[in-house]
């Protein structure tokens, strides 16, 4: 009696499927039995900053963004391996761009922007400004994991992102104010680069947000982790308490009552890619 070749083909396919399912089951069981409490690695972020102005002078423009690099640490609770804490530290490099909608002036001497209670300096009509800053971010997030599916683990995070300003440079475009031989006012186009303005930006930025992503265990204990999140800004970008420390004025003729500081806040969309070991 001759056996149908279709029987052998079907039997072979069923055997292969059974072997694959069994190997996947063994992999999942092995991973469950070999859960690490701490994972650490390198991370990099690209943040799209959605800046919202709160005054009639400064309008956010251009591609306002952060670039961040640093370390990430993910932990698991002993009582529940699907719950944990995600934290770390990141060095942030921020570009924040504004254009001016109305006349705004300040005084400067060399590379220093003068405050209201300081005398002297050159009067400057501001038309565009860029804040270029370096900071340190420390996120603190609750981490919620699903059970692994093969080499993939889906997760979500919720928590707060803390950023602290380390250094800042200000780059301005505008016009120097001067006087000609006939005592008439002159305006000379000038770019002021790398200016120093103490307290021009608030030293702390706090935001609350959530993110979601997937962890791909592609080799041994090494994983690639992309995630996307949204963070709602809780603190202002600029803040001054003492009026004598204000630097900007809307009128050179009547400066006493016209000094102010920019009022704005930002939300962020953050794309993060991490490599865990």
Assign 3-class secondary structure to 28-75.
HHHHHHCCCCEEEEEEEEEEEEEEEECCCCEEECCCCEEEEEEEEEEE
Q: Is 251 helix (H, G, I), strand (E, B) or coil?
A: coil
pLDDT tens digits for range 126-139: 999 999 999 999 99
Q: Quick one: 73 and 188 in the same domain?
A: yes
Q: Quick one: 73 and 176 in the same domain?
A: yes
Q: Quick one: 6 and 43 in the same domain?
A: no
pTM of the model: 0.83
Q: Quick one: 113 and 25 in the same domain?
A: no
pLDDT tens digits for range 58-92: 999 988 999 999 999 999 999 888 999 999 999 99
| 11 band by pLDDT with thresholds 50, 70 and 90 | very low
Q: Quick one: 135 and 190 in the same domain?
A: yes
The residue behind tokens 């950023």 is 163
Domain tally, the chain: 2
- Print the domain residue range for 95: 37-276
Q: Quick one: 49 and 173 in the same domain?
A: yes
Q: Quick one: 129 and 65 in the same domain?
A: yes
């Amino acid at each position: 009696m001759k056996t149908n070749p279709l029987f052998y083909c079907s039997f072979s396919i069923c055997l292969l499927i059974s072997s694959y399912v069994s190997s996947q089951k063994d992999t999942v069981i092995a991973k469950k039995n070999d859960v690490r409490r701490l994972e650490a690695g390198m991370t990099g972020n690209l943040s799209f900053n959605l800046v919202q102005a709160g005054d009639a002078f400064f309008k956010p423009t251009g591609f306002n963004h952060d670039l961040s690099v640093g370390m990430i640490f993910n932990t698991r609770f002993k009582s529940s391996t699907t719950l944990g804490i995600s934290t770390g530290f990141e060095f942030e490099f921020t570009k924040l761009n504004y254009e001016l909608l109305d006349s705004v002036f300040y005084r400067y001497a060399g590379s220093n922007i003068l405050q209201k209670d300081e005398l002297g300096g050159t009067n400057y009509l501001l038309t565009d400004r860029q804040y270029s800053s370096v900071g340190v971010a420390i996120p603190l997030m609750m981490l919620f994991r699903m059970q692994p599916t093969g080499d993939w683990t889906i997760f979500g995070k919720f928590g707060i992102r803390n950023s602290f300003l380390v250094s800042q440079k200000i780059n301005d475009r505008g016009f120097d104010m001067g006087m000609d031989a006939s005592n008439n006012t002159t305006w000379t186009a000038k770019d002021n680069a790398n200016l120093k303005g103490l307290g021009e930006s608030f030293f702390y930025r706090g935001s609350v947000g959530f993110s979601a992503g997937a962890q791909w265990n592609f080799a041994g204990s090494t994983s690639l982790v992309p995630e996307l999140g949204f963070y709602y800004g809780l603190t202002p970008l600029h803040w001054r308490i003492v009026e004598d420390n204000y630097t900007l004025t809307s009128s050179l003729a009547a400066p006493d009552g016209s000094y102010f500081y920019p009022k704005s806040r930002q939300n962020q969309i953050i794309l993060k890619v991490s490599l865990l070991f």
